[in-house]
Amino acid sequence: MIEVGQMAPAFSLPDGESGIVHLLDFRGSQVVIYFYPKDATPGCTQEACDFRDLHTEITGAGAVILGISPDPPRSHEKFAGKYALPFKLLSDQDSAVATAYGVWQEKSMYGRTYLGIVRSTFLIDAEGKVKRIWPRVKVAGHAAEVLAALLP
């Protein structure tokens, strides 16, 4: 996993609106990048809606929000539309970005082992350095915790 103080790994990923989003486009702003396992699942929906509900406050604190999962762009488009998500969801279908950030890891469920996203959030500063990391996020209260980290 990357560490606080390191440059955030650059990426260019498709979003749910037929565009490509480059991390470098946000230089000069803080960026909240949250990695989540799958669109439209209970925990991921709650996390996205919590960030949606605090979107005005987070952007008012000078940050943009980007959600990243392995889902395809079309899935992101439906998910964002259904829940009126005002931020971009990015498609990391080959898991290269998740791997670069250290969140593509071995997981297990019901005795089955597989590779997947470990829910994690990164706060990137205006110069592109990792300012804060929340590994193995528990959804309840997380968006509020991220907002608190952005406030002076």
pLDDT digits (tens, 9 = 90+) for 86-130: 999 999 999 999 999 999 999 888 888 989 999 999 999 999 999
Using the predicted structure, report yes or no on whether residue 17 has a pLDDT greater than 90.
no
Q: What is the Cα–Cα distance from 2 to 68, expressed in whole angstroms?
A: 16
| Residue 13 CB-density burial (10 A; 0-12 exposed, 13-18 middle, 19+ buried) | buried
Active-site choice (13, 23, 44, 89): 44
Quick: pLDDT tens for 43-52. 999 999 999 9
Antiparallel, parallel or unpaired: β 120-124 and 130-134? antiparallel
Q: Is 49 one of the annotated active-site residues of the chain? A: no
Q: What is the Cα–Cα distance from 29 to 62, expressed in whole angstroms?
A: 6
Residues constituting the chain: 152
* Amino acid in the structure at residue 151: L
